[in-house]
Amino acid sequence: MKEYEFEGLRILVQEPSLDENERLFNPDDSEKTLRFHRSLPQYRQTELVSLSSCAEKYGIRSIFVKDESSRFGLKAFKGLGGSYAMFRMLCEIFSMDPDKTDFTAFQDEGIRKKCAEIHFITCTDGNHGKGVSWAAQMFGCKAHVYMPKGTVEVRRKAVEEAGSAVCTITGYDYDETVKMAARIAEEQGWLLIQDTAWDGYEKIPRFIIEGYLTMAAEIREQMHGADPTHVFLQAGVGSMAGGIADYFLSTSAVPPLIGLVEPDGADCFYVSAKEGDGLAHSVKGDCFTIMAGLNCGTPCKTVWPLLRDSSAFFCSCSDMITELGMRTYARPEGNDRPIISGESGAVTYGLLLTILRCEKLRKIFRINSDSVVLVINTEGDTDPDDYRRVISRL
Ligand SMILES: Cc1ncc(COP(=O)(O)O)c(C=O)c1O
C-alpha cells in the first residue's frame, strides 16, 4: 500500500483483489428492489448527467454523474434504502412474500391499521432519517429519529417535514447516538432501522444496502452498455459505497477501479486500510467537517471486507475539495448542465477535478484519454444556507 499527500488530500493506493466470498449480492437482486421502488407513487428514475464539456476539457472519454438531488423529493438517495428495508421488515411482520408483493398491498385498510401500531427508530446525520420519516408516513407507521450533537436545526426540521417522524438532537456524537437508538429500541419494543451493521445487527442494514441497488441498476441502464473505468464513491459508514461497488464489480466486463472518498475528519476507512491488520477501526473524537452525511466514525461491518479488498484508492479529503465540487457543479464547463450538489454530494467530483488538474495525480489514479468516470451526486442543497455560503464564493 502506497501513501501520497497533496494539499487537502491524502491517498492510499493498493492493488485491488476480488474475493467471491466477499460479494454482497447477485446483480439480479436489483430487479427485486427496482420492482418495489417502481410501485411507489413518487418513483421516478433520476438523471444520469454526462459532463461532456468537462471531460473534453481535461482529455478523458466521459464523466457521468448520477444526480440524486431530486430522489423522492428528499434531495438525497437515502430514501431508497430506508423504504426498501421498511418494506422487507413489514413483510416479515405480516408474513407477506416480498417477491410476490409490493407497495400496493400496503394500501389495504386492514394492513394500514396494523401499521399504525408499529414504531421505527433510527439515528441519522440527516438523509437516512429523512428517508425513514418519509417511508414511515407512506406505510402509515410511526418513526422516532435521533441526530448527533452539532446537527443544524434546518436538518432536524427537514427530517420531520419529510414524513411522520419525531426528531430529536442528542448530546452525543454519531456513534454514541446509534448506540442510544439501539438501547431505546430494546426498551420500548420499537424496530431499529439503522443503515450500518455491527455484530448481531446485520439483517436490516443489509436490506438498506440492497435498496441502493436500484440506483446502480438505473445507472447501468442509462450507460447503454458502457462500463465505467473508475467509480468514485462517498463513504460515511460505507453502506452505499459497498452496495454500488459490489454491483459494478460484478456487472462490468473489466472491473472498474473503485475510489472510496471520505472527509479527513471522519476517515474511518482510510485509517482502517492504513492500519493494515484487516480489521475495521473507528475514528474517535468530535470530527468536524461540512460533509455532515459522511461524518461517521465506524465502518459498516457488512461492507468492510469487500471495500477493504476491492478498493483501489482510499481518499481522505478536506472540506476545500467538496467546496470545489459544489461550485463547479453549480457553474459547470461549456454546455454541461448545472447540478445542485450539497456538501456530502460533491466531494467525489471535487476530487475528480483535483486529479484531472494535476499530472502526478492523473498517474496515481491511472486516468487517461480512455477513462470513463462515474460519480454520484448523493445530495442536493440539504443545508440551503451553507450551500449558498459555499456557492457565493468564486
Ligand atoms: C448525501 C450522502 N452521501 C453519502 C452518504 C454515505 O452513505 P453511507 O453512510 O452509506 O456511507 C450519506 C450518508 O448519510 C449521505 O447522506
Q: What atom of ligand 1 comes closest to residue 125's alpha carbon?
A: 14
Distance in Å, CA 236 to ligand 1 centroid: 5
Q: The cell 471486507 sits on which residue?
A: 305
Find out whether 137 and 164 touch, Cβ atoms under 8 Å. Answer: yes
The pLDDT, as a whole number, for residue 32 is 96
Distance in Å, CA 376 to ligand 1 centroid: 11
Q: Which pLDDT band, with edges at 50, 70 and 90, does 149 fall under?
A: very high
236-279 pLDDT tens trace: 999 999 999 999 999 999 999 999 999 999 999 999 999 999 99
Going by C-alpha positions, the residue among 235, 265, 250 that lies closest to residue 376 is 235
Q: Does 182 or 286 have the greater pLDDT score? A: 182
285, pLDDT greater than 70? no
Phi, psi at 3, each rounded to 5°: -120, 140
User: What is the three-class DSSP state of 146?
Assistant: strand
Round to whole Å and give the CA distance between 185 and 193: 10
Give the distance from CA 327 to its chain's centroid: 21
Distance in Å, CA 333 to ligand 1 centroid: 27
pTM of the model: 0.97
The pLDDT, as a whole number, for residue 372 is 98
The pLDDT, as a whole number, for residue 243 is 98
Round to whole Å and give the CA distance between 18 and 256: 11
Half-sphere exposure of 65 (CA within 13 A, CB side): 31
Which residues are known to be catalytic? 78, 125
Give the distance from CA 309 to its chain's centroid: 19
Q: Sign of the CA dihedral 118, 122, 126, 127?
A: negative
Going by C-alpha positions, the residue among 284, 282, 287, 277 that lies closest to residue 308 is 277
Mean pLDDT of the chain: 96
* Per-residue cell: 218: 438505473
Round to whole Å and give the CA distance between 382 and 75: 6
Going by C-alpha positions, the residue among 8, 14, 31, 10 that lies closest to residue 220 is 31
The pLDDT, as a whole number, for residue 286 is 64
318-340 pLDDT tens trace: 999 999 999 999 999 999 999 99
Round to whole Å and give the CA distance between 180 and 171: 11
- Mean pLDDT, residues 289-299: 92
List C-alpha distances in Å: 341 to 27, 85, 266: 28, 26, 20
Pocket of ligand 1 (CB under 6 A): 76, 78, 125-128, 195, 234-241, 293-294, 296, 344-345, 378-379
What is the set of domains in the chain, with CATH numbers? 2-76+210-392 (3.40.50.1100), 79-194 (3.40.50.1100)
The pLDDT, as a whole number, for residue 83 is 98
Distance in Å, CA 370 to ligand 1 centroid: 29
User: What is the three-class DSSP state of 313?
Assistant: strand
Q: Which residues pair with 145 in a beta bridge?
A: 122, 167
Give the distance from CA 332 to its chain's centroid: 23
Find out whether 30 and 217 touch, Cβ atoms under 8 Å. Answer: yes
Phi, psi at 50, each rounded to 5°: -100, 120
End-to-end alpha carbon distance in the chain: 36
The pLDDT, as a whole number, for residue 186 is 97
Find out whether 101 and 39 touch, Cβ atoms under 8 Å. Answer: no
Per DSSP, the residues of 178-212 read HHHHHHHHHHHTPEE--SS-BTTB-HHHHHHHHHT
375, pLDDT greater than 80? yes
Query: From start to end of 186-340, where are the E strands?
Result: 191-192, 230-234, 257-263, 311-317
The pLDDT, as a whole number, for residue 125 is 87
Q: Which pLDDT band, with edges at 50, 70 and 90, does 288 fall under?
A: confident
For a ligand 1 pocket test, name from 68, 125, 240 the mutation site with the most ligand atoms within 8 angstroms of its C-beta.
240
Q: Which residues pair with 67 in a beta bridge?
A: 377
Per DSSP, the residues of 329-369 read HHS-STTPPP----TTTSHHHHHHHHHHT-HHHHHHTT--T
Round to whole Å and give the CA distance between 105 and 383: 35
22-58 pLDDT tens trace: 999 998 999 999 999 999 999 999 999 999 999 999 9
Nearest CA to ligand 1 atom 15: 293
Angle between helices 79-93 and 203-211 (to 10 degrees): 130
